Amino acid sequence: MSGNGMRLDAIERISQGRDVRLPPAKPVSEIFGSHVFTLQKMKAQLPKESYDSLKNTIETGAQLDPNVAAVVADAMKNWAISMGATHYAHVFYPLTGATAEKHDSFYNPDRKNGGVIAKFSGRELTQSEPDASSFPNGGLRSTFEARGYTAWDCSSPAYIKETANGSTLCIPTAFVSWTGEALDKKTPVMRSTAALDRAARRVLKLFGHKSIAPITSSCGAEQEYFLVDRGFYLARPDLVLAGRTLFGAMPAKGQQFDDHYFGAIPRRVQVYMQEVEQELFKLGVPVKTRHNEVAPGQFEIAPIFETSNVATDHQQLVMITLKEVARKHGFACLLHEKPFDGVNGSGKHVNWSLGNSTQGNLFDPGDTPHANAQFLVFCAAVIRGVHLYGKVLRAMVATAGNDHRLGANEAPPAIMSVFLGDQLSDVFDQIRKGGATGSKKAGMLDIGVDSLPVLPRDAGDRNRTSPFAFTGNRFEFRAVGSAQSVASPITALNTIMADSLDFVADRLEEEMNGGKKLNAAIQTVIQEILRKHSAAIFNGDGYSRAWVEEAARRKLPNLRTCAEALPVLRDKDVAELYSHLRVLTKTELESRFEIYAEQYVKSVDVEAKLCVQMFKTQIYPAAVRWTGELAENIACAGRAGAKLDKSVVTTLARLTEKARKLVAKIEKSLASAKDEPLEKAMAERGRLLAAMGELRETVDLVEREMPDDMWPLPTYQEMLFLK
């Protein structure tokens, strides 16, 4: 009967509509952070001097006292064991973008008394040595130079990871080579935060601030994802191995009704979301928002923003938790940027701001932005940064998956620009013309129905088509891919901003040394920035053709694919930017280029091989079987005097043959494809992707001609609409 029993089984299970039931949920106030070794817990369990010393390290980045580490380790171990932990793991974030962990037991043989004894030294807490040679290092290490170290990041809290069979104490760490080079994504985030602090502090001092707490950036990352029933997922080799469908005809209904966005959340999905949230609450991740996204089967989860380093680690936990809990609920969670052709893909909007505990949010314009010189200076620094180094932002979101999304009329274009909105654009316009004297008012919104409240209206509308939009008190970087770690985009934002703030501080100092008062100096410097860098400001429709042309006139780079965007990391000015701010050395940056380029090449190769395999083992056999059967049956009917049109047979045969030839072509390019030099390899993979696209179009036409019971793959209709 059916070409694929799994499809029918999955449909049968879905039709029974069973939800996974959890024990009644405890109040959030009770579970929030229950699995985290929080500052409160440390305060209760550590001697006062040790606690104060650790807190100082966490808050100011001061050197960690090894004696304190020993005391903390002991307290951490006792807490972890009381939570059922038997092991501890240094968790780190290699350049694959994934999360890595090496587990060790607390227990050692007790040589004196027999049995075992639980031990966890300060040294074990602060340092561990996973073999570095098996992680991508982009030429930073040879295989024979294998040493790598993980180092405890005490500013990101340790937590307990629970499974049905026990618990593990997880310790966030930085991962560096024996020579001190960053092999991970966390180290650059921390280094860029330090650079940002140094530069922002200089500017704040010029504004006369005396007490300035450490400045960090904050990040709130909105994560989009798809859910498909696990039965369908497991029957699709492309979803399992590549995370996206390589074939699949669009069903009669797609997202044309716009009826999914913010729609009522399907019950089974909501049950799943609630468990995800409970797990994240335990881990201290402040998740806040849940809703349906634009495409059928697409959803979003967003936490409240936190300091970038912690938010980055928490973002990794969000992705892991979404995937793990999905399995339990009979779903697969797809984080890929473009799992389905023909409907929207997924992104991860990174909301980013700067601030500290003494000066607050430095991107907060207040009610009268024109009079808020400090805010305007920070904003101008952003404009300069995006204009000079938009290409770096673009490079840091370049992945094979994101290539399918950026610039595809559903996601921001690959051209990096800043959206300021009406109010701010107006203020900057005034400054450009001589001086700002007023701000457009926010005002009230009268809905015209007496029983409805009068709503305060924001001073400007939103723009969903800008890659980098000011949204009231933060910037929203909307080009980040859904499967990506937010670490590299955040590092880039921090680094670019540090550079711009240093520039601003230098220029203000110069002007003031030349005799200008602060306000006059500010006016001069902002005007200068606007004169040189306004090209980066764009408030119009970022999806339009006209913008692509206008951006070209403005000489803004339009780096459409990885092959164009990643080589930016080799540009001299970019190496200089990262190295002079001590975020990444030239060698470290070069290693990033190599690793990201290799990842791109490898993922395209995997997809191409999968195309060939799926075609040969599933699609071609089904198509040939049906063509033969159809031809025979038409002939048979003809003998019985019933004349049936044969054109379906010829259409099918033509399409199948066309697809077979395309597959042969893909196989040939795969066999001859080279991996070096990387720029060439990436361009080659671009051509391979084009061939795969042509194959896909042809196969999707075959699918439309096939009887449902013979089609070997779960269909788009099943995956997108059956929940």
Part in contact with ligand ADP (CB under 6 A); list of ranges 351-359, 382-390, 443-451, 509-517: 351-359
For residue 547, how many other CB atoms are within 10 A of its CB? 21
Contact assessment for residue 302 and residue 356, using Cβ atoms and an 8 Å cutoff: no
474, interface contact from ligand ADP, Mg ion, none, CB < 5-8 Å by kind: ligand ADP
Assess 378 for contact with ligand ADP (CB under 6 A): no
Contact assessment for residue 436 and residue 430, using Cβ atoms and an 8 Å cutoff: yes
Which residues are within 8 A (CB) of 562 and not within 5 positions of it... i.e. 6 or more apart?
A: 398, 399, 400, 403, 596, 597, 600, 682
CB of 283 to Mg ion, least distance (A): 21
Q: Which of residues 239-258 bind Mg ion (CB under 5 A)?
A: none
Assess 307 for contact with ligand ADP (CB under 6 A): no
- What pairing do the DSSP bridges indicate for beta strands 306-307 and 331-334? unpaired
The residue from 361, 579, 669, 717 that contacts ligand ADP (CB under 6 A) is 361
Instruction: Using the minimum distance from each CB to ligand ADP, give the nearer residue, 305 or 340.
Output: 305
Instruction: Using the minimum distance from each CB to ligand ADP, give the nearer residue, 360 or 443.
Output: 360
Instruction: Using the minimum distance from each CB to ligand ADP, give the nearer residue, 361 or 524.
Output: 361
Part in contact with ligand ADP (CB under 6 A); list of ranges 157-165, 299-307, 573-581, 688-696: 299-307
Distance CA(424)–CA(441), nearest Å, equals: 11
Assess 353 for contact with ligand ADP (CB under 6 A): yes
CB of 299 to ligand ADP, least distance (A): 12
Instruction: Using the minimum distance from each CB to Mg ion, give the nearer residue, 219 or 436.
Output: 219
Part in contact with ligand ADP (CB under 6 A); list of ranges 30-38, 346-354, 383-391, 487-495: 346-354
CB of 706 to Mg ion, least distance (A): 39
H-only helix segments in 207-307 = 230-234, 237-242, 267-282
Angle, alpha carbons 656-657-662 (nearest 5°): 100
Q: Which of residues 259-298 bind ligand ADP (CB under 6 A)?
A: 289
Distance CA(181)–CA(176), nearest Å, equals: 5
Assess 313 for contact with Mg ion (CB under 5 A): no
Assess 222 for contact with Mg ion (CB under 5 A): yes
The residue from 57, 86, 133, 473 that contacts ligand ADP (CB under 6 A) is 473
Distance CA(552)–CA(197), nearest Å, equals: 35
Q: Residues in the chain, how many?
A: 723
304, interface contact from Mg ion, ligand ADP, none, CB < 5-8 Å by kind: ligand ADP
Q: Which two tokens stand for residue 207?
A: 């504004």
Size of the site for ligand ADP (CB under 6 A): 14
The residue from 122, 130, 188, 303 that contacts ligand ADP (CB under 6 A) is 303
Q: Which of 721, 701, 722, 720 is nearest to 339 (CA)?
A: 720
Size of the site for Mg ion (CB under 5 A): 1
Q: Which of residues 176-235 bind ligand ADP (CB under 6 A)?
A: 218, 220, 222
CB of 349 to Mg ion, least distance (A): 7
Which residues are within 8 A (CB) of 452 and not within 5 positions of it... i.e. 6 or more apart?
A: none
Which residues are within 8 A (CB) of 534 and not within 5 positions of it... i.e. 6 or more apart?
A: 383, 428, 432
Distance CA(669)–CA(609), nearest Å, equals: 11
Helix, strand, coil distribution of the chain in percent, nearest 5: 50, 15, 35
Distance CA(77)–CA(278), nearest Å, equals: 24
User: If DSSP states are collapsed to H, E and C, what string results for 440-495?
Assistant: CCCCEECCCCCCCCCEECCCCCCCCCCCEEECCCCEEECCCECCCCCHHHHHHHHH
CB of 357 to ligand ADP, least distance (A): 14
Instruction: Using the minimum distance from each CB to ligand ADP, give the nearer residue, 414 or 469.
Output: 469
CB of 351 to ligand ADP, least distance (A): 3
Part in contact with ligand ADP (CB under 6 A); list of ranges 120-128, 302-310, 340-348, 680-688: 302-310
Which residues of this protein are in contact with ligand ADP, per CB under 6 A? 218, 220, 222, 289, 302-305, 351-353, 361, 473-474
